[in-house]
Chain A
């Protein structure tokens, strides 16, 4: 498959009068390919490797070695790739030397789109004919359900890329309607291959969060670990069973590590919610962030660790209480022309 950088230049051109970027003739592309292959062999020779088995990765490594560049933008660095990847795919000239176009639908303006619609309709008629034949022969209609859940149709942009010409929203929706109609017919399996060209697999995204089972340490006490993040702080917590409610952070007791009441309340929250205040011991390590961020990170870590000790229903309660969600708030970026992320400079009348 061809890799296009962005959309095709031909597709984006609205103003037909303005000359676009230069069109590459076929001969030009062929010459580029020959030069590339020759260059590849020379490069392999230079690097002392076998020219026959010189892959694209080797080329990349060799170029990076011979032309080291400190530029940050990877796309600005020296590049040696196959011309089909470098030169964007373009429509070849659609008419011959005498000026007559090749395709019969050229004067519609959207030749590839209409030809595609004609093809799809042809398949539809095929399927209907096949269906009528089966009914005439009194054979049972085959019904194999396509797995609709895990596939999706091509998006408009993908269709544009495939056809190399612009597709409007209405056209796209009509095409999809036609495909849907084709699929719903009972004997659509005949044209399965054709349909597969326009459908894509969607990976099953059911990631059910796995609750780890309890682990047991040497003394036989059950414990479980959890990790949490908040702003820039990372925390890991190990919650032990049969405890007295003692909590140690980085080897220091919480009374000394968090002198502020608010932080200690944050730590208390998961235990209080489950009603297990004096029953667990906890040992945590935390780094990064500030005082409040560390407290929030430890809270999340301890809530995650407590999931293993608790029934599923209570896990659901915890999730609804917001104990298990990572807090997405981070420091907002300062913008140029303003003093802070939101604060503007003082406005002076003159």
Chain B
């Protein structure tokens, strides 16, 4: 094992002499799988297959919600957050770096089979944007809004729409904690009435709208709608960059599992949150980018073998999102697999004595099929 590490080492060292070499080569195999570049802006193809560290405070600030559950558990276990740099993420970052913000926002759809790392790619991009100082609008999972909702209120704003106060308030809380400084800077453009008595004047910071939404849970969905509208208008003007990151965007156009009181099914347009989000995802504004992920795992009424945009989005969603830049996310390449395996070994996550051998590695690769999620689940009991 150590020999292999050293061999890879020397090869890597020769190719990497120019990049920031804070890792001293020929020391430990650790350096092969890790890079100390914690700024995604500086990640290039040479970092492909390596894991980079995000300091824990940043994790709490940037990702109050949005990381996959198992990854959060892994962070707790290892006491550090290591994200792998992979090709699709690098592709996206190059596009973002080179995009012209005067044009309408470009839409990117990350798709792939189950458990290949789409959400992690999205989180990588979100981290980059927050480092760059963009305003990040991160919706962790749009599927949470179209299923398992306990309360549905009829909207006061529009008669035939339904509100979801709980989900909206949760999201507002997380949004507040991740984008504190923007909420002070952005000012409202219009006067908004919340019910008969409360209102927010023009020119007040957006933070007040959020506070209003959190205080009065009934109007949380409307507050969210206001926030989204304001942000869109202002980023169109160009005062800041906006990133709309939606995970599980196919939920916006599928079916819901919610029912109205007369047991008739609810279609997604009737939900305020979904309606507002659809407006955000349309590319009629400029000054930012829209990065979305398709997800089959949480989707309703879709077969488990579906993973292409066409199947998961349906005709309506596809037409709305068209044109977009598709970004497929494949399983681990051999190199990525090795670096993931090396990381588990190094953190002593694989305790089984056979797991340390070459044969064990080959077995793991065979059984998991180089699928990140399968590998993670396999390595768990070992």
Interface, chain A (partner B; CB < 8 A): 245, 253-256, 261, 264-265, 268, 271-272, 275, 277-278
- Tell me how far the C-beta of B377 lies from the nearest C-beta in chain A, rounded to whole angstroms: 8
- Residue B164 CB within 8 A of the other chain: no
Residues of chain B within 8 A of A275, CB atoms compared: 359
Residues of chain A within 8 A of B305, CB atoms compared: 256
- Residue B167 CB within 8 A of the other chain: no
Q: Is the CB of B374 within 8 A of A255?
A: yes
Q: Which 6 A-B pairs have the closest CB atoms?
A: A255-B369, A277-B362, A278-B362, A264-B367, A268-B366, A277-B366
Q: Is the CB of B371 within 8 A of A255?
A: yes
Q: Is the CB of A261 within 8 A of B378?
A: yes
Q: Is the CB of B363 within 8 A of A268?
A: yes
**Chain B residue at minimum C-beta to C-beta distance from A254:** B369
**Chain B residue at minimum C-beta to C-beta distance from A265:** B367
Residues of chain B within 8 A of A256, CB atoms compared: 305
Report the bound CA distance from A256 to B371 in whole Å.
Answer: 11
Q: Which residues of chain B (11-51) have a CB below 8 Å from chain A?
A: none
Residues of chain A within 8 A of B366, CB atoms compared: 245, 264, 268, 271, 277-278
**Chain A residue at minimum C-beta to C-beta distance from B368:** A255
**Chain B residue at minimum C-beta to C-beta distance from A256:** B305
Q: Is the CB of A277 within 8 A of B359?
A: yes
- Tell me how far the C-beta of A244 lies from the nearest C-beta in chain B, rounded to whole angstroms: 9
Residues of chain B within 8 A of A272, CB atoms compared: 359, 363
Chain B binding site: helix, strand, loop or mixed by DSSP?
Answer: helix
Residues of chain B within 8 A of A277, CB atoms compared: 359, 362-363, 365-366
**Chain B residue at minimum C-beta to C-beta distance from A264:** B367
- Tell me how far the C-beta of B22 lies from the nearest C-beta in chain A, rounded to whole angstroms: 34
Q: Is the CB of B362 within 8 A of A245?
A: yes
A-B CB contact pairs (8 Å), 15 listed: A245-B365, A254-B369, A255-B369, A264-B366, A265-B367, A268-B363, A268-B366, A271-B366, A272-B359, A272-B363, A277-B359, A277-B362, A278-B362, A278-B365, A278-B366
Residues of chain B within 8 A of A245, CB atoms compared: 362, 365-366
Report the bound CA distance from A169 to B139 in whole Å.
Answer: 90
Interface, chain B (partner A; CB < 8 A): 305, 359, 362-363, 365-367, 369, 371, 374, 378
Report the bound CA distance from A277 to B374 in whole Å.
Answer: 18
Residues of chain B within 8 A of A261, CB atoms compared: 367, 378
Residues of chain A within 8 A of B374, CB atoms compared: 255
Residues of chain B within 8 A of A253, CB atoms compared: 369
Report the bound CA distance from A268 to B368 in whole Å.
Answer: 11
Residues of chain A within 8 A of B362, CB atoms compared: 245, 277-278
- Tell me how far the C-beta of A27 lies from the nearest C-beta in chain B, rounded to whole angstroms: 81
Report the bound CA distance from A256 to B114 in whole Å.
Answer: 10
Residues of chain A within 8 A of B365, CB atoms compared: 245, 277-278
**Chain A residue at minimum C-beta to C-beta distance from B362:** A277
Q: Is the CB of A268 within 8 A of B359?
A: no
Report the bound CA distance from A162 to B167 in whole Å.
Answer: 93
Residues of chain A within 8 A of B371, CB atoms compared: 255
Residues of chain B within 8 A of A264, CB atoms compared: 366-367, 369
Report the bound CA distance from A348 to B293 in whole Å.
Answer: 60
Residues of chain B within 8 A of A265, CB atoms compared: 367
- Tell me how far the C-beta of A246 lies from the nearest C-beta in chain B, rounded to whole angstroms: 9
Most buried by A among B359, B366, B378: B366
Q: Is the CB of B367 within 8 A of A268?
A: yes
Residues of chain A within 8 A of B369, CB atoms compared: 253-255, 264
Most buried by A among B305, B363, B369: B369
Report the bound CA distance from A261 to B381 in whole Å.
Answer: 13
Residues of chain B within 8 A of A278, CB atoms compared: 362, 365-366
- Tell me how far the C-beta of A243 lies from the nearest C-beta in chain B, rounded to whole angstroms: 12
Report the bound CA distance from A254 to B367 in whole Å.
Answer: 9
**Chain A residue at minimum C-beta to C-beta distance from B115:** A255
- Tell me how far the C-beta of B306 lies from the nearest C-beta in chain A, rounded to whole angstroms: 12
- Tell me how far the C-beta of A50 lies from the nearest C-beta in chain B, rounded to whole angstroms: 67
Report the bound CA distance from A271 to B363 in whole Å.
Answer: 10
- Tell me how far the C-beta of B10 lies from the nearest C-beta in chain A, rounded to whole angstroms: 24
**Chain B residue at minimum C-beta to C-beta distance from A277:** B362
- Tell me how far the C-beta of A198 lies from the nearest C-beta in chain B, rounded to whole angstroms: 61
- Tell me how far the C-beta of A238 lies from the nearest C-beta in chain B, rounded to whole angstroms: 18
- Tell me how far the C-beta of B166 lies from the nearest C-beta in chain A, rounded to whole angstroms: 33
Report the bound CA distance from A271 to B366 in whole Å.
Answer: 10
Report the bound CA distance from A271 to B367 in whole Å.
Answer: 12
**Chain A residue at minimum C-beta to C-beta distance from B367:** A264
**Chain A residue at minimum C-beta to C-beta distance from B334:** A244
**Chain B residue at minimum C-beta to C-beta distance from A245:** B366
- A sample of 8 more A-B contacts (CB under 8 A), given A261-B367, A264-B369, is A245-B365, A245-B366, A256-B305, A265-B367, A272-B359, A275-B359, A277-B359, A277-B365
Report the bound CA distance from A245 to B337 in whole Å.
Answer: 15
- Tell me how far the C-beta of A260 lies from the nearest C-beta in chain B, rounded to whole angstroms: 11
Residues of chain B within 8 A of A254, CB atoms compared: 369
- Tell me how far the C-beta of B361 lies from the nearest C-beta in chain A, rounded to whole angstroms: 9
- Tell me how far the C-beta of A302 lies from the nearest C-beta in chain B, rounded to whole angstroms: 13
Report the bound CA distance from A164 to B359 in whole Å.
Answer: 69
Most buried by B among A253, A256, A265, A277: A277
Report the bound CA distance from A59 to B366 in whole Å.
Answer: 63
- Tell me how far the C-beta of B341 lies from the nearest C-beta in chain A, rounded to whole angstroms: 14
Report the bound CA distance from A237 to B359 in whole Å.
Answer: 23
Report the bound CA distance from A271 to B305 in whole Å.
Answer: 28
- Tell me how far the C-beta of A19 lies from the nearest C-beta in chain B, rounded to whole angstroms: 75
Report the bound CA distance from A261 to B366 in whole Å.
Answer: 11
**Chain A residue at minimum C-beta to C-beta distance from B305:** A256
- Tell me how far the C-beta of B358 lies from the nearest C-beta in chain A, rounded to whole angstroms: 9
Report the bound CA distance from A115 to B292 in whole Å.
Answer: 101
**Chain B residue at minimum C-beta to C-beta distance from A278:** B362
Report the bound CA distance from A275 to B362 in whole Å.
Answer: 10
